[in-house]
Amino acid sequence: MTENESSKKNIYFILFIITLLLSAIIAFLVNRDFKYKKKLLELEKNALIRENEQITIAFNKLKNSSNDEERVKAKQEILKLKILTEDDWNFFKNKFELLFPNFLIALKNSNFKYTKSEERFLILKKLGIEAKEISDMIGVSKDSVLNTQHRIRKKMSISKDVDIIDYLSKTTDS
């Protein structure tokens, strides 16, 4: 074997070792990234579970409250909730339906067709929540909530002086 062939073999061997080391480093980094993302997903899942438990507890307190003071405390707990995702909203809506089983049926049977955001507004309004609080809960601007309220009033042909929920209650018997 000549010196030239020997140096070629050494270069190939070194390149093989470098490739092997780079592959090991890449595999390590990918594995670490996977574990990190898995941990984040687990934390998010646990946060959703805790949030759903808080929603359940808040609605149960509101449902089982026997006096105004308990109702106010239960409402304050509901106001602390954040309803930012579709899953959060669906869970919240299901709990609401347990508390007010006929409200959504009455909405669907009314003469008015509501968008999802209008339905969301009406559900939160039924709980006695004001526009600023609604905006904080669902992560939108107060102006957006007020625009939704305005669209609903326009659909119903009612003035600002008329309470939307009272009007709905009278027209739908809910």
Q: What is the structure's pLDDT at 173?
A: 58
Least confident of 16-20, 143-147, 161-165: 161-165
- Please give the DSSP secondary-structure letter assigned to residue 162: S
Q: What is the structure's pLDDT at 1?
A: 64
Among 1-15, 36-50, 82-96, the range of highest mean pLDDT = 1-15
Residues contacting 118, CB < 8 A, separation 6+: 148, 151, 152, 155
Q: Are 110 and 79 in contact (CB under 8 A)?
A: no
Q: What is the pLDDT of residues 91-125, one digit of tens each?
A: 888 888 888 888 888 888 888 888 989 999 999 99
Q: Which residue has the tokens 């709990």?
A: 95
Instruction: Report which residue type is found at 111.
Output: N
Q: What is the structure's pLDDT at 172?
A: 65
Residues contacting 114, CB < 8 A, separation 6+: 107, 122, 152, 155
Query: From start to end of the chain, where are the E strands?
Result: none
Q: What is the pLDDT of residues 57-95, one digit of tens each?
A: 777 777 777 777 777 677 777 766 777 788 888 888 888
- Would you say the C-alpha torsion 28, 32, 38, 39 has a positive or negative sign? positive
pTM: 0.62
